[in-house]
């Protein structure tokens, strides 16, 4: 069973799975490569909501 089938289309679309697939697909298929996965994901990691204080 795929993750999309497990979550349902609406929840899957709102999740980070599509973004993760996009970021990883280049690495897996010979596209942009980075020694550290976080380098490819950095812009998405730091663009989240500001921490609460």
Domain residue extents for the chain: 3-45
The average confidence (pLDDT) of the chain is 80
Buried residues in 9-39 as b, exposed as e (16+ CB within 10 A): eeeeeeeeeeeeeebeeeeeeeeeeeeeeee
What is the pLDDT, as a whole number, of residue 38?
Answer: 79
Please state the pTM of the whole predicted model. Answer: 0.59
Across the range 25-37, mean pLDDT stands at: 77
């Amino acid at each position: 069973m795929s993750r999309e089938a497990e979550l349902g289309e609406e929840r899957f679309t709102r999740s980070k799975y599509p973004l993760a697939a996009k970021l990883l697909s280049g690495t897996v298929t010979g596209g942009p490569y980075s020694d550290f996965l976080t380098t490819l994901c950095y812009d998405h990691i730091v663009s989240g909501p500001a921490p609460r204080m």
